[in-house]
Structures are given as C-alpha cells and as structure tokens.
Structure 1
C-alpha cells in the first residue's frame, strides 16, 4: 500500500493522552539487571519449604503471564499503526519494551533468588484458559480482523482482565506477603523494587486500555454490549486463578495470606474499571481525551 504523506510533515505530533503515556514511559525507564537480589537470595534460603513453594508459585504465574503478553501484543500494535494513530503506536512501542523487561525481571528473580526451573506445574486450568487460550486467541484475531469489535475484545482480555485484575491482584499479594514476612525479619528489597517498577509500567498499560476501550465505545456505543459480555465471560476464570492459588495449599497458604482478601481486591479492581467504561457510552471523544489527560496514571 502506497503512502499519501506523513503526519509529522503536515501538522506534527498531537499533544494527546497516548503521547503523554509515551513521555512517561521514557521518563521511568528502568533496567532489571540493575536490581540487587543478594538480600532476597539470603532471605529466601531462610524460608521453610512451604513458603518457598508458595513464593515460586506466585513468581511462576507472573513470569509466564508476562511472557504471554509480550508474545501477544504485536497484533494490536499493527492494527493501531494501520489506522494511522501515530501517537498511540509510539506509546505501544514502549508498551512492548515494558513487557519484555517484566519477563526479564521475573526470570532474574526466579533464577537468581530461587534458582528453580520447570514451574509450569503451578499453571491451573483457569490460568491456562486465560493465558494459553483466550489471550492468544483474542490478540491473534486482530491479524485478520481489525474491526472495533475485535479490538474491544482484545483490550478487555489484555488490559482489563490480565493486567487490571490478575496482575494488580498479584502485586497486592507481593506487598502483603512482604509485609507479613517482614514481621519475621525476612527482607525482600530487590523483589519489591522490581515489583514497584512493573506495577508503574502496568498502570500506564491499563490507562491506555481504558482509553482505547472508551474511545471505541464513544465512537460506537453499541460496543458496550461486546465489552460487557467479554468482561463477564472472563471474570470467573480470573477469580478462579486467584482461588486456585489458595486451593493448592489445603492446610493453609504458607505466606499467611487469606483467599477472601484477594478475591475482594480482584473484584474491586474489576468494578472500578467497569464503572469507568460504562460512563464512556455517554461521553464524547473530546471528553474522554480530557478525562484521560487529567487522570495522573503511570507516575512514580
């Protein structure tokens, strides 16, 4: 396909929400290799076998999940590029780099701290449903079907469920586990440093996903039905992933966490984004852009 010209040569870049996310991604760039895991490695050695197993369980879900989203993001980048949304594409290039760094961070955490391999034993049926089936299927569909409906289903799967429910709940688990282990004198500074960086990156990803879905819904309010149906379909599997972690330890989760706290947290994250998208049905594109610009997401 021949080009008709270039936006930057005609009018320049648009001062938009995606461009703001792009600038934040540059500002908050970090290198997983700069994190010092020496204290974490010493601390891990002091944990009992159950605590070690539960720590590996949590890390295994993250490292594979981050690999999945790294592998599956490219079709969305291609769709946005073909639509000529330059600022969104520029941000999505940093989005892909972020996901690659997250894979690297959790891989370093597992290899340097736990020195463990072959962690697929922790992948439950619900986990496989989302990461082995629904995520690659929804994202891969964009290669042949760039329709707004396909984009909406992909963004719900990737940004709302995988990142907005599962990853956010996983960060909360890391913080709570570190808090409780800290009461026993166990320190995990490298782990927490990296998790904070990952969460900051993901806050930009989720913000973009909400922006994308809001834009799609504002352009075509009937898409709300597609979004709502997809969210309601995937939510039970996402909650199942959370519950499966605790079911694996019938004698009690070794890191002293309680399943109810995390199911409630996951639902809270879901409902917060659900309400935000619901409002998009009655908002204009200008209003959505302004609200996104005024919402300070993706900062330290």
Structure 2
C-alpha cells in the first residue's frame, strides 16, 4: 500500500484558480485594507453637539442597528468557511479570510465612533436605540415580518454546519446556496445597500455633519460590494453544477418577502428622507443579485416592493 499523498492534497494553488473571480476578489481585498484607528473623530464629536436630541436619536436608530448587524455577521461567517472547506474551494477560503477581517473591522469602526462621538458603547447603553423588527403582520394581512439577521442567519448557519458535520456534500451544496443567498444576496445585497444610503443621506440632511462617519460608511459599502459578489458568484458556480437547485434561491427570498417588501423602518426615525427612493433601490439591487447568480427575478416580488399601496413599515407594529 502506497503512503504517497496525492499532489492535489498537498498543493491547492492552480493557474486556473488564480485567474478566477473569487481569487481576484481576494487580491482586491488585500489592496483595500483600511484602519479605523487611523482616522480623526474630533470634528464628528463637535458636529454631534450641534444636533438636536431628536436628530441624535434618529441617527443612532440607524447606526446602532448596523453596529449590531456587523457583529452578528462576523459571528456567523464560520459556517461559510466550513462549507468552502467541505467543497474543496481553496480560493473561497482565501477570500473568506479577508471577509471575516473586514466584517470585524466594520464593527470595530462603529464601536470607536459610538464611543468617541456619541459617548455610548456598553450593551446597556446601546440597547435603547436598537430598532426591533417585530414579528408582525402588515395591516392587509399579506406579509409576516421575520427577523433575518438574528434568527434567519443563525438558523441557516446551523443547517450548513450540520451538513458539513454529516459529510453530506449534496446537502452542503444546497445549504451553501441557501446561506449565501440569505447572507450575501438578501441581507447584504438587497436590504443593506439602501440602508447605507440612508446613513449618508441622513448626514446630508442634517447639514453634511460627521464626515468621518460618512467616510466610514462609504468604505464599508466598498467592502460589502465584494462580499455580495463573492456570495452571488458562489451561488452561480453551484447552480451551474446543479441547475435544479435554483428553487432554493427563490424560496429564501419568498421566506423573507415581508422584510424586503416593507418600507425601511429608519424613515420613521429620520423624517424627511425619500422613502420611495430606497424601495426603488431595493428593486435595482434585487435584479443585480439575480443577474449575478444567473437566475430570473420574480416579477411579482418587484411589483410588491414598488406598490405604493403596500406601505407598512418594517419594525413598526401595525395599527
């Protein structure tokens, strides 16, 4: 019996891998490293003191939801690494190493900003500003609101971990499609993108204040663009191998339909924003994510997002 270890179990780099989309994302991430501790928060702190209490509360309702979310997604990235390892995707593992670092850095940036500028950081100081997305039904009774970040992601993360643990490669593929669709396609790729714009627009609305916060969100947005297209590229690759699994992508968007159709809750916290702008952005991002995954968008979902008569607000109890 030979003890020789196969070459492809000793060495993972190939020329084809280094020409691939995921490896190029790794290269871009390495070139785009930034450090929030290098930035000056002095002017943001001065600007903060010029805001009214209502303006401060409105902005914190937005930024603290993001702060919690960045910590949550950092905490939920391990299953993606496990799935990439199970599928022998070394380029995915390389890229995910930068992905985890960037999500942790986004959380660190928001920790620094809230501590330095708003003077709050401990969990009990932040919690009163956290906008809760309650499991409510909209007034028409058509849509249930499900908590994506703190319930949906952990559920599908556990499903992926179990598939890896059982060494069931077909289930790993299916679970990876579901998880990347929910994490990268839905949460980052459709819900979060307009919300980044809400932060930027709020700072403009308040008089172009807190330029370091503005800069940080724009850098986060650039990082998230790579995160999104990693996930959609991964889904596309898996669907090219298994086209019969396309239904899994549509099922995820259907499960969390109410959350994407409902208006963004931050408009309640920051009056004066153009809410319909963000609904239109959701549709554009949804179409882009479907194109990147190589699937056909669901036109009914698009119609519902844009329907002005469906005006319930996520996070605000009906009535």
Q: TM-score range by the shorter chain?
A: 0.7 to 0.9
Is 1:118 matched with 2:160? no
Residue 261 of structure 1 corresponds to 277
Is 1:196 matched with 2:218? yes
Q: CA deviation at 1:17?
A: 1.1
Q: 1:25 aligns with which of 18, 24, 29?
A: 29
What do you get for the CA RMSD once the two structures are aligned?
2.4
Q: 1:176 aligns with which of 185, 201, 219?
A: 201
Task: Report which stretch shifted further, 53-62 or 139-148.
Answer: 139-148
Alignment partners' CA distance in 2, 1:62 and 1:10: 38
Q: 1:222 aligns with which of 228, 235, 244?
A: 244
Q: 1:102 aligns with which of 106, 111, 122?
A: 106
Task: Report which stretch shifted further, 195-204 or 271-280.
Answer: 271-280
Is 1:144 matched with 2:165? no
Alignment partners' CA distance in 2, 1:134 and 1:84: 26
SS of residue paired to 2:265 = helix
Point out where structure 2 has 5 or more consecutive residues left out of the alignment.
136-144, 165-170, 297-319
8 Å CA contact retained: 1:176, 1:257:
yes
Task: Report how many residues are paired.
Answer: 271
Alignment partners' CA distance in 1, 2:201 and 2:62: 13
Counterparts in 2 of 1:41 and 1:134: CA distance versus 1, 3 Å = same
Greater RCO (CA < 8 Å, at least 6 residues apart): 1
Counterparts in 2 of 1:3 and 1:56: CA distance versus 1, 3 Å = farther
SS of residue paired to 1:187 = coil
Q: CA deviation at 1:271?
A: 2.4
Q: CA deviation at 1:99?
A: 0.5
In our comparison, the structure showing a higher alpha carbon Rg is: 2
Higher helix share: 1
SS of residue paired to 1:166 = helix
Residue 266 of structure 2 corresponds to 245
8 Å CA contact retained: 1:35, 1:193:
no
